[in-house]
Amino acid sequence: MKERVRPLIIGAGPAGIRAAEALVDAGIKPVVVDEAPLGGGQIYRQRIVPDERTARDLYGSEAGKATALHKTLAGLQDRIDYRPRTLAWNIRDNIADVMTDGRGGRIPFSHVILSTGATDRVLPIPGWTLPGVFTLGGAQIALKSQGCAIGEQIVFLGSGPLLYLVAWQYMKAGGHVAAVLDTAPLSAKFHLLRGLLLYPGIVVRGIRYVADLMARGVKVRFGIEPVRIEGDTQVKGLVWRDRGTDHHIACDAVGYGFALRSETQLADLAGCQFVFDKRDRAWQPVCDGAGRSSKPGIYLAGDGVRISGADSAELAGERAGLALIEDCGFPVDKVRIEVLERRLNRVQRFRGILEQAFPFPESLVRSLADDVLLCRCEEVSIGNVRSSAQKFDITDLNRLKALTRVGMGRCQGRVCGSGAAEILAHASGRSLEDVGRLRSQPPIKPLPLDLSSDGEAA
Ligand SMILES: Cc1cc2nc3c(=O)[nH]c(=O)nc-3n(C[C@H](O)[C@H](O)[C@H](O)COP(=O)(O)OP(=O)(O)OC[C@H]3O[C@@H](n4cnc5c(N)ncnc54)[C@H](O)[C@@H]3O)c2cc1C
C-alpha cells in the first residue's frame, strides 16, 4: 500500500529535510531533489570549497541546528531517493520536469511537497547593476559557501534581519564593514520589545549584532534613504541621505536587499490558487495551517509559501509531511501535530513583529529616478514602466510585461518582479494587490544544456 505512495520533495532545506524525515518515519520513501550540490538550504548552506572553518564559524549561534539538520539528511540517504544538483524546472499533471548536470529527465509523483525557499527582495536603486553590488543573500553565500568576501571595504544597505546578520558575519570573518545603512527608522525597532516575550534569545542576539558592529567602529545608521551607488566599471562609493543631508562613503562593494520573497513559481505552474499576503507584500499560494495547497496532493512548506524563517521551515516541513501521511489514510500522532501547530502559530506572531521592526521602504519607490534600470535582463527602466503605465493605462503586471518586456528575460521576474509591482502600483495609483502577480512560465530558471555527444536533450 505504502509503496504506491511516491512523493516528491522539491528543496532540501530545513523544510524539505524535515518533511522527508516525517515520511521516512512513516515508512514512505520520497524522492528529494535540490538544485544545490549539498543539502541544507539557504541558512544551513554547506561550503563547496573545503577550508578550516568549523560549524561555529559558519553558522554562529545556529551551528547546533545546522549540524543536526545535515546529520538528519545524511542519516536518511539510504531511505530516500536523494538527487542533488537537480533543478525542477516545471510541474504538470503529476510530473516534474528536471535537469541534473545538464541532462533532462522527468519524475512522476503521487504527491509533491514544494519547499523551495526564498530569495532576496530587490528594489532597484541608482547604481545597483554595477559590478561589486550583491544582494545580502548573495554576499552571505559567497562567504558561507565559497569562503570569500564580496569586497575589501563593504557597505551593507537595506532592511530586514539579514542586514545585520550578514554585516556581523563579515566582520567576524575579518572583513572590513564600512557601514550598515538601515532604511527603517530606529523607532521601528521598539516593536522588537514585544518580540522579547516570544523569542527573547533571537531579539537579544540581534541587539548583540548591532552592539558588536558599533563597538568595532562600524557606522550604523537608521532611517536613511539610499541616493546612489557610485562608480563606472566598479563600485567606488555610496551616497545616502539622512534627515535631508547627503553623506558619501568610499567602498568597493555593496550588499543590499529588502527582506525576502518566496519562490512560488512551481506552485503556480502546478495550478495552486494564490492569495495576496499584506505582510509579505506579495501574492502567495493558498495554504492551510498543515501545508495543504488548494490542489489535492500538492503541499507547501517553509519560506516558499510564506517568509517565516528557518525554525518555522523545519516545523512546517514536518507538518506538511504529516498532512501527506494523514491524507493517504495512514495513522499520525495527533499530539505531535498539536504541538507543531502551536509552535508554528507562535512563529507567525513573531514574524508579524519583525515585519514592523523592518518595514519595506515605500517612500523609496516614489522617489526613484526614471533612468534607474528596473529589469536588467530586458533593459527596461523605471521611467519606461511609469510612462507605459500612463500611456496605455496599464493596471496589471502581466500586461506591463507584454508591453514593456519587464520580467520576460532570464530571471523570469524573480529579481525584478517585486520591484515592478511596486513601481506599477504607485504609477497607476492602484494597490499592490490590484496589480496582480507575474504568471510563471517554464522553465522557471535558465537551464544549462549538456551538449556533449552522449548528452540527452532536455
Ligand atoms: C540567500 C539567503 C540567505 C539566508 N541566510 C539566512 C541566515 O543566515 N539566517 C537565517 O535565519 N535565515 C536566513 N535566510 C532565510 C532562511 O533561508 C530561511 O528562513 C530558511 O532557510 C528557509 O528554509 P526552507 O527550507 O523553506 O528554504 P531554503 O532553506 O531556501 O531551501 C530551499 C531549497 O530548495 C532548493 N530549490 C529551490 N527551488 C528549486 C527547484 N526549482 N528545483 C530544485 N531545488 C530547488 C534550493 O536550492 C534550496 O536548497 C536566508 C535566505 C536567503 C535567500
The enclosing domain of 41 has a CATH number of: 3.50.50.60
Give the pLDDT confidence score for residue 454 in this predicted structure: 54
**Residues 247 and 272 placed together within one structural domain of the fold:** no
Distance from residue 262's CA to the centre of ligand 1 (Å): 9
**Four-CA torsion 43, 153, 213, 175, nearest 10 degrees:** 60
11 lines ligand 1 (CB under 6 A): yes
Q: What is the pLDDT of residues 333-377, one digit of tens each?
A: 999 999 999 999 999 999 999 999 999 999 999 999 999 999 999
- Give domain status of residue 270, yes or no: yes
Is 182's pLDDT higher than 50?
yes
Is 133's pLDDT higher than 90?
yes
313 lines ligand 1 (CB under 6 A): yes
Name which residue sits closest to atom 2 of ligand 1, judged by CA.
137
Which grid cell is 187?
Answer: 523607532
34 Cβ partners below 8 Å, 6+ apart? 10, 11, 12, 13, 16, 83, 84, 85, 86
Cβ proximity of 189 and 357 under 8 Å? yes
**Residues 236 and 141 placed together within one structural domain of the fold:** yes
* pLDDT, mean of residues 421-431: 96
**Residues 89 and 131 placed together within one structural domain of the fold:** no
Q: Considering 236, 258, 280, which residue would you say is the last residue of a domain? A: 258
**Residues 138 and 243 placed together within one structural domain of the fold:** yes
- Give domain status of residue 342, yes or no: no
**Residues 314 and 392 placed together within one structural domain of the fold:** no
Candidate from 10, 42, 284, 300 with most ligand 1 atoms within 8 A of CB, to mutate: 42
Beta strand segments in 266-371, E: 274-277, 282-285, 298-300
**Residues 140 and 266 placed together within one structural domain of the fold:** no
Q: Given pLDDT bands bounded at 50, 70 and 90, which one contains residue 2?
A: confident
Q: Given pLDDT bands bounded at 50, 70 and 90, which one contains residue 47?
A: confident
Is 457's pLDDT higher than 50?
no
**Residues 270 and 252 placed together within one structural domain of the fold:** no
Which grid cell is 401?
Answer: 510585461
**Residues 60 and 73 placed together within one structural domain of the fold:** yes
Name which residue sits closest to atom 29 of ligand 1, judged by CA.
41
263 lines ligand 1 (CB under 6 A): yes
Helix and strand tally (H, E) in the chain? 15, 22
- Give domain status of residue 218, yes or no: yes
What is the residue range of 192's domain?
122-258
91 Cβ partners below 8 Å, 6+ apart? 97, 112, 266, 269, 270
Q: What is the pLDDT of residues 391-402, one digit of tens each?
A: 999 999 999 999
Nearest CA among 204, 200, 202, 198 for reference residue 350: 198
- Give domain status of residue 203, yes or no: yes
* pLDDT, mean of residues 316-339: 97
- Give domain status of residue 321, yes or no: yes
The number of distinct structural domains making up the chain is: 3
43 lines ligand 1 (CB under 6 A): yes
- Give domain status of residue 344, yes or no: no
Candidate from 91, 116, 344 with most ligand 1 atoms within 8 A of CB, to mutate: 116
**Residues 253 and 149 placed together within one structural domain of the fold:** yes
- Give SS3 for 347: helix
316 lines ligand 1 (CB under 6 A): no
| Report field, pTM of the whole predicted structure over 0.85 | yes
Q: Give the number of other Cβ atoms within 10 Å of residue 186's Cβ.
A: 11
**Residues 251 and 274 placed together within one structural domain of the fold:** no
Is 449's pLDDT higher than 80?
no
Beta strand segments in 212-264, E: 219-221, 225-231, 235-242, 245-250, 253-258, 260-262
Angle between helices 382-391 and 417-428 (to 10 degrees): 40
Q: What is the pLDDT of residues 251-265, one digit of tens each?
A: 999 999 999 999 999
Q: Given pLDDT bands bounded at 50, 70 and 90, which one contains residue 455?
A: very low
* pLDDT, mean of residues 161-184: 96
User: Which atom of ligand 1 sits closest to the CA of residue 137?
Assistant: 1
* CB under 8 A, 24+ apart: contacts of 95-100: 96/8, 96/10, 96/33, 97/442, 97/443, 97/458, 98/33, 99/447, 99/448, 99/458
Q: What is the CATH number of the domain that holds 429?
A: 1.10.10.1100
260 lines ligand 1 (CB under 6 A): yes
Q: Does 443 sit behind a cis peptide bond, omega within 30 degrees of 0 on the bond before it?
A: yes
116 lines ligand 1 (CB under 6 A): yes
Cβ proximity of 8 and 270 under 8 Å? no
**Residues 66 and 33 placed together within one structural domain of the fold:** yes
Euclidean distance between CA atoms 181 and 178, whole angstroms: 10
Candidate from 17, 33, 43, 73 with most ligand 1 atoms within 8 A of CB, to mutate: 43
- Give domain status of residue 298, yes or no: yes
Distance from residue 393's CA to the centre of ligand 1 (Å): 37
What does the mean pLDDT of the chain come to? 94
Give the pLDDT confidence score for residue 1 in this predicted structure: 67
- Give domain status of residue 453, yes or no: no
Is 233's pLDDT higher than 80?
yes
- Give SS3 for 207: helix
Is 451's pLDDT higher than 70?
no
